[in-house]
Chains A and B, each alone.
Chain A
């Protein structure tokens, strides 16, 4: 059986922290750049400032945003692979090292006592798959947009338009405070927890690839058009670009229910991934 040392995972996670917090992924950067051409006046100038910030962060090795987020780790381990050492500890050690090295902010506290901020523990989602590889994705999630995220248990007879109306209502209520232009992850189906997880995984989908489920791709476009008619715009100061992309993931659910979760991301959709083979 193939083996991998926990230390290798630790080193990879540390590297992903630096990468994610300093360099916006190419697909995200491209989506922002493409939107500049659609705007004029103030919204256009704001989008240009955002791009300027990204270039500066990369050049000066600074975090894009002072909120270097709550580190969320998606780790997929092949069942034919044996990890030598403590996997969870290795992930957290990697994050601690990466955040120290990058001079990133410690934003993690006990939810009630709220003292002594640290960079860990991360929220970790483990997945076991076939094969002998390990895939790690890191998403440092800022809480300006996480706070604007919501889930709702719909009636199973709810129509797609009703779900759309709810999405629009939430974005209208909370979008302006979540650092628009936004990326919007929607999870539909499963259980309460599954829908929420899907909404976050939807934000991990590469933006240059269409949704493999054609009907969901159509729905993404439909929701995006409606959201961009709201006129919230960059920074919430008006404009055509309220959201840059909507991504939807679906999972079978119970005959009695229809859970839907909405995970908003600010324009700085930070994520980095690596496959260890």
Chain B
């Protein structure tokens, strides 16, 4: 298991390969559809965006259920964000060819985590802080401080992706 501290640097990213299982530690920012249409209200350099719209926080909890949403809906915004210095994305599901090319070009990383497991994933969040757009409800931007948040490298900075790797292995 690889411990991955945020913010990300080129050295950390270069060590990661498709299929690696990592535990993320540090700050990540939630942003999904509506926040991507607006301006992302944090410096992108070296950061990870988590495609997530958490459920409301019940009393006595740090955060409500907070699993990943489908990443491909953000594909149309991603190449430009990578060009501006974004280094990591965390979500679920596949990415477009264009995004995979941009991940390789700008030396970034795409991670996936357990889809539908929002309750479980909420236990890896140590702090949740609103950054912007409270009017968007679950789609607001939150700064999350995470500890050992589990993820799998799905596209590495060499442009390799986990789905074509698995397709070759399958019995089709």
Contacts of A104 in B (CB 8 A): 55-56
> Does A84 have its Cβ within 8 Å of any Cβ on chain B?
no
Interface Cβ pair total, 8 Å cutoff: 136
Q: Are A235's CB and B115's CB within 8 A?
A: yes
Contacts of A177 in B (CB 8 A): 70, 72, 92-94
Shortest C-beta distance, A92 to chain B (Å), equals 18
From the candidates B135, B139, B169, name the one contacting A238 in the complex (CB within 8 A): B169
Shortest C-beta distance, A62 to chain B (Å), equals 4
Interface string of A178-191 (1 = CB under 8 A from B): 11000000000000
Interface string of A49-74 (1 = CB under 8 A from B): 11011001100111111111000000
Shortest C-beta distance, A41 to chain B (Å), equals 11
Q: A50-B116, A56-B120, A106-B138 are in contact. Are A63 and B167 (CB under 8 A)?
A: no
Of the listed stretches A11-19, A215-223, A226-234, name the one at the interface; the rest are far from the partner chain: A226-234
The complex places the Cα of A98 from the Cα of B43 at a distance, in Å, of 38
> Does B66 have its Cβ within 8 Å of any Cβ on chain A?
yes
Residue of B nearest to A172 (CB): B172
The complex places the Cα of A114 from the Cα of B34 at a distance, in Å, of 9
> Does A268 have its Cβ within 8 Å of any Cβ on chain B?
yes
Q: Are B64's CB and A235's CB within 8 A?
A: no
The complex places the Cα of A105 from the Cα of B63 at a distance, in Å, of 12
Shortest C-beta distance, A25 to chain B (Å), equals 15
The complex places the Cα of A119 from the Cα of B157 at a distance, in Å, of 40
Q: A57-B65, A64-B65, A176-B163 are in contact. Are A117 and B138 (CB under 8 A)?
A: yes
Q: A144-B70, A177-B94, A235-B112 are in contact. Are A66 and B170 (CB under 8 A)?
A: no
From the candidates A49, A67, A114, A236, name the one contacting B94 in the complex (CB within 8 A): A236
Contacts of B47 in A (CB 8 A): none
> Does B78 have its Cβ within 8 Å of any Cβ on chain A?
no
Q: Are B119's CB and A57's CB within 8 A?
A: yes
Q: Which has the most chain B C-beta neighbours within 10 Å: A116, A142, A144? A: A144
From the candidates B112, B117, B137, B171, name the one contacting A106 in the complex (CB within 8 A): B137
Contacts of A127 in B (CB 8 A): none
From the candidates A53, A115, A237, name the one contacting B117 in the complex (CB within 8 A): A53
Q: Are B65's CB and A65's CB within 8 A?
A: yes
The complex places the Cα of A114 from the Cα of B37 at a distance, in Å, of 12
Q: Are B72's CB and A144's CB within 8 A?
A: no
> Does A103 have its Cβ within 8 Å of any Cβ on chain B?
yes
Contacts of A178 in B (CB 8 A): 93
Interface string of B40-76 (1 = CB under 8 A from A): 0000000000001111111001001111011010000
The complex places the Cα of A176 from the Cα of B165 at a distance, in Å, of 14
From the candidates B56, B135, B163, B167, name the one contacting A115 in the complex (CB within 8 A): B135
Shortest C-beta distance, B149 to chain A (Å), equals 13
The complex places the Cα of A53 from the Cα of B67 at a distance, in Å, of 11
Interface string of A86-119 (1 = CB under 8 A from B): 0000000000000000011111000000111100
> Does A244 have its Cβ within 8 Å of any Cβ on chain B?
no
Q: Are B118's CB and A235's CB within 8 A?
A: no
The complex places the Cα of A176 from the Cα of B34 at a distance, in Å, of 24
